[in-house]
Amino acid sequence: MPEALALVMQITDKLRQYVLTSELASVHNQDMALNMALTGLLKDSDKIAEERREQFKVEVVQIARKVSKLHTAADANDQAGAQAQLSVVQDAFTQLKKHFPPEMLKAATLLADPNCNPATAGQTNGLAALHLAATAAQPTIRATVQMTAPLTQGEPNQAILKLTRTNGAPLLAGELQEVHQARIHLLVIEPSLTDYHHIHPQPTAMPGEYAFAFTPRRTGAYRIWADIRPAPMNLQEYALADLPGLGPTSGLNDRTPTSRVRVDGFEYELTFTTPTIQAGVVTIARLRVTGPDGRGFEQLESLMGAYAHLVGFHEDFQTVLHLHPRGAPAAGPQARGGPELEFQLFALKPGFYRLFAQVQIGGISRFAPFGLQVLPYSRSSPR
């Protein structure tokens, strides 16, 4: 329990830093680790005095919901709202800490060393390893997919996504918080990290079942990540499932770093403010879109409430990144943006990532793939 408490301490301090420095786009980076840390506190609630145990559980869930509201304010680039909600989160955490004996608080405080970088597992203290383990832990929601037939290259496939809790209860649509205009963001790709699809499954008449369709452009199996924020925590997590397919499945064989690509006559360039990108370090990324005429393109359309989205897949075929632009969301369906958008990249795991920039031009979603190498964290390396 001290480790989980320490991680909550560290995350709440990070949230404070992000809000006070107006780095609101980084708030969502903490959701999954906080979700797992709070779940850990709930699992170990038997260590809390029996007369306070039920109230402790209520307060743990309340903190999660309060951080979720902070996340929502941050997504909307609402600085005043984020600051107000940060105060609510801090007050709630102060109240929660009263349930722990002094010796446990002391142990957790020592673990929550602010100099402990999440990427330096084993180099500083056990909390770093916990942060990485939390993001890789089993989610609270399980995903399975029922298909009409195995995937076949070039043929549409109708499928049903089933979301259930660990006790088997269906996850209802009303228990999913809407984020960027959808309750479920389904990220679909195959092991070569080439054919990426972003889909929004829709509820069916069956509780916990959501319909979607897509046409694979490659042979073999695919994997889906359901990006969701389920009640009661309302914090982000990913539920994974595999889709069987006909034909050979190709693995990742192209790890070439690429920062500039041309798709459908448009040029996309991804640049960074640091010479290297390190695990556990926030890096500013800038996406620039140039039109066929060679000029910066200023007619990017609103897509899920933003002018662009970045989704990245690690070479381990497990870890994903889902980034949204800094600044105010798109003002409405008629609003236009570009040519440059800024993101905050935060990757806990070193290695190769395939990043896809998704924009909408002329009513059509377009995807630009990039190759990115994230280095292990080093205190001595220039950033």
For residue range 83-139, list pLDDT tens digits in order.
999 999 999 999 999 999 999 998 888 888 755 544 444 343 344 445 555 555 567
pLDDT at 126: 41
Q: Is 195 part of any domain?
A: yes
Instruction: Indicate if 126 and 17 belong to the same structural domain.
Output: yes
The per-residue pLDDT of the chain, averaged, comes to 90
Q: Is 322 part of any domain?
A: yes
Instruction: Indicate if 12 and 127 belong to the same structural domain.
Output: yes
Residue 182 has pLDDT above 60, yes or no: yes
Is 287 in contact with 272 (CB distance < 8 Å)? no
Q: Which of 85, 106, 105, 92 is nearest to 24 (CA)?
A: 85
Which tokens hold the place of 231? Answer: 């009640």
Q: Is 313 part of any domain?
A: yes
Q: Is 280 part of any domain?
A: yes
Instruction: Indicate if 189 and 274 belong to the same structural domain.
Output: no
Which residues are paired to 245 by β-bridges?
A: 151
177-196: average pLDDT: 96
Under the banding of pLDDT at 50, 70 and 90, the label for residue 331 is: confident
Under the banding of pLDDT at 50, 70 and 90, the label for residue 318 is: very high
Dihedral sign from CA coordinates of 22, 310, 186, 38: negative
CA–CA separation, 243 vs 189, rounded Å?
10
Residue 255 has pLDDT above 80, yes or no: yes
pLDDT at 115: 58
pLDDT at 136: 53
pLDDT at 29: 80
Least confident of 1-15, 131-145, 353-367: 131-145
Instruction: Indicate if 69 and 96 belong to the same structural domain.
Output: yes
Provide the CB-side half-sphere exposure for 351 (13 A, CA): 16
Instruction: Indicate if 130 and 160 belong to the same structural domain.
Output: no
Report how many domains make up the chain. Answer: 3
Instruction: Indicate if 112 and 31 belong to the same structural domain.
Output: yes
Alpha-carbon dihedral of residues 48, 54, 56, 57, nearest 10 degrees?
Answer: 110
pLDDT at 111: 80
pLDDT at 309: 96
Q: Is 380 part of any domain?
A: no
Show which of 213, 243, 273 is a domain's final residue: 243
Q: What is the largest CA-CA distance in the chain?
A: 70
Q: Which of 200, 221, 220, 245 is nearest to 358 (CA)?
A: 200
Show which of 83, 110, 136 is a domain's final residue: 136
CATH number at residue 63: 1.20.120
Q: What is the DSSP letter of 139?
A: P
Q: Is 339 part of any domain?
A: yes
**End-to-end CA, the chain:** 34
169 or 135: which leads in pLDDT: 169
Residue 174 has pLDDT above 80, yes or no: yes
Provide the CB-side half-sphere exposure for 169 (13 A, CA): 9
pLDDT at 281: 85
Of all residues in the chain, the percent with pLDDT exceeding 90 is: 71
Instruction: Indicate if 113 and 52 belong to the same structural domain.
Output: yes
Residue 252 has pLDDT above 80, yes or no: yes
Instruction: Indicate if 110 and 171 belong to the same structural domain.
Output: no
Instruction: Indicate if 14 and 122 belong to the same structural domain.
Output: yes
Q: Is 207 part of any domain?
A: yes
Least confident of 44-53, 66-75, 106-115, 239-248: 106-115
Strand ranges (E), the chain? 141-147, 157-165, 185-189, 197-199, 202-203, 209-214, 222-228, 237-243, 260-263, 266-272, 283-290, 300-301, 309-314, 320-323, 336-337, 340-345, 351-361, 364-374
Write the CB contacts of 142 (distance below 8 Å, at least 6 apart in sequence): 163, 164, 165, 166, 239
CATH number at residue 288: 2.60.40.1930
Show which of 110, 136, 162 is a domain's final residue: 136
Domain of 7? 2-136
Q: Is 248 part of any domain?
A: no
236-247: average pLDDT: 95
274 or 138: which leads in pLDDT: 274
Instruction: Indicate if 129 and 151 belong to the same structural domain.
Output: no
Which residues are paired to 223 by β-bridges?
A: 189, 242
Residue 300 has pLDDT above 70, yes or no: yes
Instruction: Indicate if 264 and 357 belong to the same structural domain.
Output: yes
Instruction: Indicate if 232 and 342 belong to the same structural domain.
Output: no
pLDDT at 135: 53
